[in-house]
Structure 1
Amino acid sequence: MSRYDSIKVGDKASFTKTITETDITLYGAVSGDFNPVHFNSVYAEKTMFKNRIAHGMLTAGLISAILGMQLPGPGTIYLSQSLSFRSPVFIGDTITAQVEVLEKEDEKKQIKLSTVCKNQNDKKVIVGEAIVMLKD
């Protein structure tokens, strides 16, 4: 049985990570996004968040970790991702990304998944859907 055939609607996987100062620094260096809301405490105190926040795409990257490493796993090709950013992520927050298989399109070997990131208080910080392709 192929890996694609072994994946069923309803299958789930998750990945948990605590967001650190180092994560934000490294993400800024890789992405070039040095928005002061991520790096400047004095600036961030004047925003609606009252504190520095993590990059939204840093948090969304945890979804990619699941897709590429767990479900479907190595060899997965990311085709699309919708994201709705619901709440900020702060340094020290522990984020759990979760994916669940919603649909499969057998002819193209594509999989549609629900994607959610929650903080340590079980509050959804990101919700969306992904479509991936699995090459066996």
Structure 2
Amino acid sequence: MKYEEIKINQAYETDKKITANMVESFAEITGDKNPIHLDEEFASHTLFKKRIVHGMLSVSIISSILGMEFPGPGTIYMKQEVKFLKPIYIDEKITVKITVKDKIEEKFRLVLATQIIKEDGSLGIDGEALVLFKS
């Protein structure tokens, strides 16, 4: 994709599933071994009632889409604002939606709405990213 082809309000969506193996690998890599993510018994006594995905693992899925799918290879992540609205559960089907809010032509930058929509249709994560994409 070329920068010139990207239009304001253009949207990209893809479905993903974050597995227990991904959560466990993320915990090992980052050292975030909070039992809410790893221990079903512990999680059953929390307000979530079961294990939840690390918030930053969910945001990392957004990062992978920006760099590999839309806008794609060569994308440089410059900024991300994020609101964690609802938990993402392990093995829950999610839809990641990226929408172009603005283009800063002279600097080849894009302002993007970044959202993760839960299996039930509710918004789990809402945010905004600034990326450099010079194709």
Fold in common (TM above 0.5): yes
Q: Percent of aligned positions with the same letter in both sequences?
A: 39
Aligned to 2:47, the other structure's residue is in SS state coil
Q: CA RMSD in A?
A: 1.3
Q: Tell me by how many angstroms 1:131 deviates.
A: 0.4
Aligned to 1:107, the other structure's residue is in SS state helix
Q: 1:119-134 to 2 correspondence within 5 Å?
A: 119-134=118-133
Does the alignment pair 1:15 with 2:14?
yes
Dislocated runs of 4+, deviation >3 Å? none
- Residue 54 of structure 1 is matched in structure 2 by 53
With normalisation by structure 2, the TM-score equals 0.94
Does the alignment pair 1:64 with 2:58?
no
Query: Unaligned 5+ residue runs, structure 2?
Result: none
Contact 1:12 1:101 in 2 (8 A): yes
- Residue 114 of structure 2 is matched in structure 1 by 115
Distance 1:4 1:93 in 2: 33
Distance 1:18 1:73 in 2: 20
Q: Tell me by how many angstroms 1:46 deviates.
A: 1.7
Query: Unaligned 5+ residue runs, structure 1?
Result: none
CA deviations on 1:88-122 (whole Å, 9 max, x unpaired) are 11112011111000000011111001110011111
Q: Tell me by how many angstroms 1:65 deviates.
A: 2.0
